[in-house]
Amino acid sequence: MSAVAAPNVELTVTPTAAAEINKFMQGEEDLPETAGLRVRVVPGGCSGFQYSLNIEEESKQGDHIFEQEGVRLFVDMFSGQYLNGITIDYTSNMMGSGFTFENPNATGGCGCGESFSA
């Protein structure tokens, strides 16, 4: 029986998004050196999937771990298949501010910009 290799996952975090993530993480008290941002895809939203960002103290077994722009990211294997090639950015305009996701895997989306189908 041969071992199945985990699929390769690549993410891009823009410098603007990294600055916001770092600012948020510095505001959290008592985070260990192992802490990072979990980027996930969860069922929900008006198109089937939505993005989830959470600060976690450490990675879990099987996670892909990325270091970009001074930020540590954790991606689980389920989410990795939907997040490969994604770019995470942070925008601020008159309508508000927040993280945006440019996902080449999405086959559809909705007006809110926070959910997608694949």
48-77: pLDDT as tens digits: 788 899 999 999 999 999 998 999 999 999
Comparing CA positions, the residue from 86, 69, 74 lying closest to residue 16 is: 69
pLDDT digits (tens, 9 = 90+) for 84-93: 999 999 998 8
Q: Can you give the pLDDT at residue 2?
A: 44
Q: What's the pTM?
A: 0.80
Q: Assign 3 a pLDDT band (cuts: 50, 70, 90).
A: very low
Two tokens, residue 3: 């071992």
Which tops the pLDDT comparison, 107 or 71?
Answer: 71
Rounded Cα distance between 42 and 112, Å, is: 16
- Domains along the chain with CATH numbers: 11-113 (2.60.300.12)
Q: Are 38 and 56 in contact (CB under 8 A)?
A: yes
Query: What is the model's pLDDT at position 17?
Result: 96
Q: Which residues contact 1 (CB under 8 A, 6 or more apart)?
A: none
